[in-house]
Each structure stands twice: as C-alpha cells, then as structure tokens.
Chain A
C-alpha cells in the first residue's frame, strides 16, 4: 500500500493539536502582554504646519496659573466572551487666566491736567487646554474622552473662576495700566 505523503491535519493525534493550539494561544497572549503602550514608542513623522488664520487681538493677561487636574472614568472593553471595565484617568494641563479686552478700555484725558479717566470693563475668565493624557490599563479604540474632558474643564473652572480671584485680577490689571499710564507721564483715575 502506498503511503500518502501529503499533510492531513485530521490524521494528527488530538494531543498534538491541543499542544499546538495551546502554544499558539500562549504566544498570542505573550505578544499581547508585551505590546505595552509607552510614549517613547510613539514618534511623529515630520509634517508642515499649516497656518489657517492670523488675526490681531488686544488682550491683557492680568492673572494666570498653570494647573493640572483629572477625572476618573470607566472604560469598557468588549472581548470575545466577556466585557470588562477598566479605570481610566483623564488628565488635563491648563492655563487659567483673567483677561482684559484692551479694545474695550477707554481713556479720556481731562483737559488742562495730567489726569486721565480710564474706563475698564470686567475681566474675562479664560482657560486653555495645553495638553492632556488618558491613562488606562488597556487601550480601547471606541472610547471617546469628550465627556471626561468636559468634567475636568468644569472642575478647573469651579476651582479658579471665583469672585476672590477676579478681585485680585482686577487689582492687578489696575496696577498694570497705572504703571503704563504713569510711564507716559499721566495720572489715571479708574471708573
């Protein structure tokens, strides 16, 4: 009887198949284990910077802080047989500032004197995101951090946008404008 030299998986002993399957599963698992995400692994290719607009503004930054805050969220990862929830931390680095719109500041010199009336509007609270990180044990493709980002922004706003800070910022804005007006040889009166 002629021996069939072709490979037929159904003729392999069950134990061998099990061993091969186990080895493949282990290899896959090990590779997944070592596919750790680290910032160093991610390098950005050089691309040009496209300037979309340049516009003149006039904003005096009177009071500024750089702060970092976070919120904890749950990230859902759906596997083959189960769904798991992981804890994720969304951090945000923000600059918070009180800004004076210089176009709204009006100067009215009083004729025959060195005195000038300065009419100043209310300062505006501004916060800008300068970066952020999502820290989680696993990377989930369909997780949208918009909600977590909003929570962090709200936390920062409630912490820094306070009447006391606004008062301090207003005092500082007065000092800055006073110094400038005095350097120009005039005496300001704020209204």
Chain B
C-alpha cells in the first residue's frame, strides 16, 4: 500500500470518526425528555385531582356553534444564540377549528331574595349573570379542510401540531370577552324563556327584574 492510499484511508477514518462524534454530541446536546414517559408519570396525579364528580345546578340555555381558522406560520428564526431555538425554513398550517359553547346560569346563585311572589301568583325574579356551562371542541381533524406546508429542514405538520393549534385556538376563544358580550342579550332572552316556561307550568306569572 503506497503513502497516498494510507493518507486517503486516514482521511476516511478521520471523517467517519468526526461524523460519529458530532452526531453523538448533537444527540446528547439536543435530546429532550421522552414526552410519552413524562406524561405517563404525571397521569395518576392528574386523575386524582380532576376525576371527581361534583353536583351542579347549571342551566344551559344557549348553544353557540362557531368556527375559527387556526393559522400557524413559522418562518426561519435564527435570532437567538441558543441553536435549540433556531428554526430553518418555513412551516405552516391553516385549519378550521369547530367549537360548541353552551351558556346559561347557575341556579344555585338564585337566592330567596331573587324570587319574590305576590299574592296574585306573580313571581318577580332576578336572574343570575350568564356564564359558560360547557364547551366542546371537535378533536377529529378533517384532513380535506387542512392546508400544511413545510420546508425540507422542518418536520412535516402532523396531528401533533394540529392538536396544539386547536388547544391554542380554544384558549383564545374562551378568553375572548367580546364574543360573550355580543351574545349576552340573546343568552338572557333564552334563559328567561326557559324560566318562563317552567313557572307558567307551575301556574305562576313571571316578571324578570333584570
């Protein structure tokens, strides 16, 4: 074997060792905790805290069906020193998020002072303020309605990202007081209609004071 072959072989070996070192270092440096194991370890606590039935007296009177487009568009981002926060290339997803929100009142907030009965069977009733009773988000994704895009350096957009988008949209919709305020009059009207129906069946004549 001549000296050139030896040098070539040495270069190959060095390149190979270099690659292995860099790959191992990158994996050690950027390795995150296994999300699956992490979740499974937390689960029992969560179920203990959340899984208890509670008696309620919430009267849902208005069901609102709505849709908001979840638009996520991440461009290249190299602004930070930490390479773990770098994002190379574009990754985008546009998807509709369908939700149903039920509004109504808590009947336990009706105190004796809120219901006054006259001798002529007229009931003066002061209804509690409306609130959210329940909401539902459609977790199943209709792929025909979703547009995704990702560069070759980015992960493809999949179910994981879509569910994160849904959660974020739901958080924002539930925190949006404008939606609630725009529906307040309608919710109050529907609540009155339900109480009117109940009280009339009881032979009483309702008068709402709010």
Contact = CB atoms under 8 A, between A and B. Distances in A.
B54 A49 contact: no
Interface string B74-93: 10000000011011100000
B139 to A, nearest CB: 5
B144 interface: no
A91 B39 contact: yes
A135 interface: yes
Interface residues of A, number: 100
A50 B115 CA distance: 37
B107 A49 contact: no
A144 B154 contact: no
A44 B194 contact: no
A154 interface: no
Nearest to A57: B63
A87 to B, nearest CB: 5
A176 B158 CA distance: 46
A2 B69 CA distance: 64
Contact of B64 (A25, A53, A60, A185): A53
Given A72-B36, A144-B143, A181-B202, A128 B50 contact: no
Interface in A140-169: 140-146, 149, 160, 165, 168-169
B59 A49 contact: no
A108 to B, nearest CB: 8
Contacts of B64: 51, 53-54
Contacts of A176: 57, 107-108
A52 interface: yes
A165 B53 contact: yes
A65 B159 contact: no
Interface string B141-170: 101000010000111111111011111111
B4 to A, nearest CB: 10
A61 B108 CA distance: 12
B52 interface: yes
B155 A25 contact: no
A57 B60 contact: yes
Contacts of A180: 107, 110, 198
21 contacts: A18-B12, A22-B16, A26-B19, A34-B26, A34-B30, A35-B87, A43-B72, A50-B68, A58-B60, A60-B59, A64-B54, A91-B39, A97-B134, A133-B163, A136-B35, A142-B158, A146-B140, A172-B56, A183-B115, A184-B123, A186-B202
